[in-house]
Structure 1
Amino acid sequence: MGETADTLAARWAAVRQRVDAACRAAGRDPAEVTVLPVSKTFGVEAVREAVALGLTRFGENKVQELRDKSAALAELPLDWVLIGHLQTNKAKDAARLASEVQSLDRLELAEALHRRLGAEGRAIDVLVQVKTSPEESKHGLPPDELPAFLDRLGGYPTLRVRGLMTLAVQSEDDAAVRACFRRLRELRDAATARGHQLPRLSMGMSGDFPQAIAEGATEVRIGTAIFGRRPVPAK
């Protein structure tokens, strides 16, 4: 790899190698899967270090943290992606600062984002978050509500719907984890058959991305495997 120390550069290279290996194991082209570095809870300097490696797109869970980092790094051409649950009253900042929202899960939020984006004169990419895990703590649209929801989103031209996102169940049971990812792919395929263009599947994190790739992920969201142990507990 050229990097042997426990540095961000070494971790990034290792993650990229592991993603490529998972793609090959699944019979897929590594070029089909992108990595979204998740910088939540990590400071501005960690992001700067990642930018020095050529990374320009970062995932954040909270609007407040995205706002603080985007202000501190305003001189850099970065794309900020909201991947955490978004409260409707935070839609204004999301519409102003985010290049993408991956956690769109209700019509109320779609309406708020559309209204704020119109005021900003912007349009952004969005992914619909679907709840494929039985865990109460997980957010997302119920799978049976997805068809009607996608139909309604056609009325919000500022929201460019690009695909679906999910969080798998937190379990040591590999079959249960893969079932969550498989469910999202099946939902995407059914929506595609109904005429929706949803090329992207954002699923899989540091602990389960090989399973997600095996089930068709086009993007994996990686935090600790790139940035290291989180400095504070992440909710």
Structure 2
Amino acid sequence: MTHADPARVERVRANLAAVRGRIEAACAAAGRSPEEVSLVAVTKTYPASDVRILASLGVTDVGENRDQEAAPKAAETADLGLTWHFVGQLQTNKARSVASYADVVHSVDRARLARVLGDRAAAADRRLTCLVQVNLDEDSRAGVIGPRGGVDPNDALEIAARIDEHEALTLGGVMAVAPRGGDPGAAFARLRTVADRIRDRHPLATVISAGMSADLEAAVERGATHLRLGTALLGNREPIVG
């Protein structure tokens, strides 16, 4: 393994300190403890060397959006003992691969996907924590704009039940992305309502995965337990080609 670029280490260290400062301030404003909020570093388009830098700085939760990038990166950093989160849209034909390395899948929005993930995890003698992805974008659900991942809030309990009934899956809670151009606080308040309904029926499903680099404060205010942060930690991404 080559040694990390010292300048890159210092840049990531400074970004991480700034992010943790934002999280602490948001928690203080919301009357919450920072210990209630986990940071998931989303490393899409960044190399495994950045994963190693983050791990050296105490980050233990790493997220990826695309299986074709996540699988080799997880394998390359398997010695670090990280918790891997799959946070992107997931097709059932990728379930076998994702179930082989992911610890948490944030984007379960179909009963069939839950079933296939569970079957693949069982075959690999693994157990996955799954979150119900909730679509908070009314224009998307109505077909006014292109489809986005996530189940209609009214159907979230049904997907939660399908996850909970599979012996190889653990129902963790919910995930959502704030609608583009909307009020993230209002969106995350809706997510909190869905989360509460699911937790009423499944008391251990306490995860609320909400908030990214631009809107983490609104997410913390509305009860987020996991923040998915990439740009704030690692900088602006280059577009993926292909």
Does TM, normalized by the shorter one, top 0.5?
Answer: yes
Q: Distance in 2 between the 1:206 and 1:91 partners?
A: 27
Question: For 1:145, which of 151, 155, 162 is the aligned residue?
Answer: 155
Alignment of 1:1-235 (within 5 A): 7-134=11-138, 135=140, 136-171=146-181, 173=182, 176-233=183-240
Contact 1:41 1:234 in 2 (8 A): no
**Residues 63 and 29 of structure 1: CA distance in aligned 2, closer, same or farther (over 3 Å):** same
Contact 1:79 1:99 in 2 (8 A): yes
**Residues 234 and 194 of structure 1: CA distance in aligned 2, closer, same or farther (over 3 Å):** farther
**Residues 102 and 54 of structure 1: CA distance in aligned 2, closer, same or farther (over 3 Å):** same
Q: How far did 1:34 drift? A: 1.2
Deviations 1:39-69 (A, max 9, x none): 1111111111111112222000011111111
Q: Distance in 2 between the 1:43 and 1:195 partners?
A: 37
Gapped runs of 5+ residues in structure 1? Answer: none
The amino acid that maps onto 1:106 is R
**Residues 6 and 138 of structure 1: CA distance in aligned 2, closer, same or farther (over 3 Å):** farther
Contact 1:82 1:103 in 2 (8 A): yes
Q: How far did 1:98 drift? A: 0.7
**Residues 56 and 234 of structure 1: CA distance in aligned 2, closer, same or farther (over 3 Å):** farther
**Residues 209 and 72 of structure 1: CA distance in aligned 2, closer, same or farther (over 3 Å):** same
Deviations 1:66-88 (A, max 9, x none): 11112222332222110000110
Mean alpha-carbon deviation: is it higher for 220-229 or for 145-154?
A: 145-154
Gapped runs of 5+ residues in structure 2? Answer: 1-8, 141-145
Q: How far did 1:188 drift? A: 1.3
Q: How far did 1:148 drift? A: 2.1
Counting aligned pairs with the same residue, the percent is 38
Q: How many residues align?
A: 229
TM superposition score normalised by structure 1 = 0.91
Contact 1:42 1:231 in 2 (8 A): no
TM superposition score normalised by structure 2 = 0.89
Q: Distance in 2 between the 1:96 and 1:160 partners?
A: 16
Secondary structure at the counterpart of residue 18 of structure 1: helix
Mean alpha-carbon deviation: is it higher for 124-133 or for 74-83?
A: 74-83
Deviations 1:85-128 (A, max 9, x none): 01100000011111110111101111111111111011111111
Q: How far did 1:149 drift? A: 2.2
Secondary structure at the counterpart of residue 138 of structure 1: coil
Mean alpha-carbon deviation: is it higher for 150-159 or for 222-231?
A: 150-159
Contact 2:115 2:163 in 1 (8 A): no
Q: Over aligned residues, Cα RMSD in angstroms?
A: 2.0
Contact 2:95 2:117 in 1 (8 A): yes
Q: Distance in 1 between the 2:38 and 2:58 partners?
A: 14
Secondary structure at the counterpart of residue 7 of structure 1: helix
Q: How far did 1:192 drift? A: 2.4
Q: How far did 1:233 drift? A: 4.9
